[in-house]
Amino acid sequence: MARRGPKPKPKPKPRPKNRYQRHSKLSESKFLEVLKGFSELTVSNQIASKTRISEKTVRELTWKIRFRMMDDIMNNRNIFQGIRRYLFDGGKILPRGQRLLDDAGAVDPMILYTMLHRLDGRRLTERHYSALVIENAVRAYCRMAGQPYGLFEMSDELKNTYKIIKDSAEGLAKAEVTAENMQEYEALVAENARLLKDAEEVLDLEQRMAVADAHRSYVSPNQVIYNDLRKSLVKKPL
């Protein structure tokens, strides 16, 4: 009886052509060039010229990437330097997060007009606008969180307001409450509460400085966006 030879090793599964996008006609290297261009704020026609991909394809792909950024922020609290923790707390948007989104949404009308034409005649929907706001917010936050503490500068007005709040808080902490000075103490508490209410911008700045202090070594925001999107797309391709 003839001896059977060793069983043939199973053939390895072919590596997908593009791990970052399902059923993609683009090679992985071309896709990463588009992703890098998007991360570096390169305009679509320049990306198309460099990669030799049609500008229409580049535009469609960059919009898909923007939509992925929105999904990632809602589902991953650590992505993009932890911007979700800065924006939300328990599903509720924080005042500092609202201010960041408001600033990100203050887009020049001509920029929006240009974006309209980049949609190949389609109207800019609420989802497109939200994606633009989120993209701007992510870029602004990554710039803020990635810079060393020493690069964060306050205006003289903010420094003065911050000093007033600090002095008021210290005076409140040192105050001794007695029956004789109860009225003065209550006035001090009311004044401190008013300062805190009127100075949300200063307190927000303090929190931003703390974030910057936690990331002393400078990290390029473009590199953060590129790396995080790449990791996200490997786990869940477009």
Domain carrying residue 109: 28-147+218-235
6 falls within a domain: no
- Number of other CB atoms surrounding residue 141 within 10 Å: 23
Q: Is residue 226 a part of any domain in this protein? A: yes
Alpha-carbon span 191 to 197, nearest angstrom = 10
Residue that has been written with the tokens 């931003």 in this structure: 208
Same-domain status, 137 and 117: yes
Within this chain, do residues 185 and 82 fall inside the same structural domain, yes or no? no
Full-model pTM:
0.66
pLDDT tens for residues 201-234?
A: 666 666 666 665 554 456 788 999 999 999 999 9
Are 28 and 20 within 8 A, CB to CB? yes
Burial class (CB in 10 A: 0-12, 13-18, 19+), 216: exposed
pLDDT in tens, 103-141: 888 766 556 555 555 555 566 788 888 888 899 899 989
What token pair was written down for 170? 């210290």
Does residue 76 form part of some domain?
Answer: yes
Same domain, 166 and 76: no
The residues, ordered by sequence, that sit 6+ positions from 9 with a Cβ below 8 Å of its Cβ are: none
Same domain, 110 and 226: yes
Q: Are residues 183 and 198 in the same domain?
A: yes
